[in-house]
């Protein structure tokens, strides 16, 4: 990841407006949009849920090795990382599999 891409990712996580990020980094707003689109495609950032979907946005932090494993599994299924994570959490919650997945009774 380039320094500019990392700066765009950091700015996104701080909810900085794209125009502000562009000014601060000395690049065009179009460049910020391109970088954000690439980061979104890589699953590093997510678009806010569309209104009326009933979904709530949740940001999580993953260890690099966890992200790599999730990325591999998502690619294998032709999914983005957020889509795969959403499907996993939905399946675990729907089937009440928390105890089966989390061995926290040990």
Mean pLDDT for the stretch of residues 64-68: 92
Per-residue confidence (pLDDT) for residue 44, from 0 to 100:
80
pLDDT band at residue 42, thresholds of 50, 70 and 90? confident
92, burial (CB in 10 Å: exposed 0-12, middle 13-18, buried 19+) = middle
Report the length, in residues, of the chain. Answer: 106
Q: Classify domain 1-45 by CATH architecture.
A: Orthogonal Bundle (1.10)
Q: Which option is the CATH number for 50-106: 1.10.1220, 2.40.30, 1.20.58, 3.10.110?
A: 1.10.1220
Rounded CA gap, 96 and 25, in Å? 46
What's phi and psi for 58, nearest 5 deg?
-135, 125
Domain boundaries, the chain: 1-45, 50-106
Query: What local confidence, expressed as pLDDT, does residue 47 receive?
Result: 65
Contact 29/19 with Cβ under 8 angstroms? Answer: yes
Alpha carbon distance 66, 69 (integer Å): 5
């Amino acid at each position: 990841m380039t320094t500019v891409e990392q700066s765009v990712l950091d700015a996104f996580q701080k909810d900085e407006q794209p125009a502000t990020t562009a000014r601060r980094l000395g690049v065009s707003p179009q460049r910020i949009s391109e970088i954000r689109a690439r980061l979104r495609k890589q699953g590093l950032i997510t678009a806010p849920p569309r209104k009326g979907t009933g979904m709530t946005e949740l940001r999580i932090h993953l260890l690099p090795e966890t992200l790599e494993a999730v990325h591999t599994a998502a690619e294998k299924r032709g999914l983005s990382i957020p889509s795969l994570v959403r499907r996993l959490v939905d399946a675990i919650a729907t089937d009440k599999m928390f105890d089966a997945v989390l061995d926290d009774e040990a």
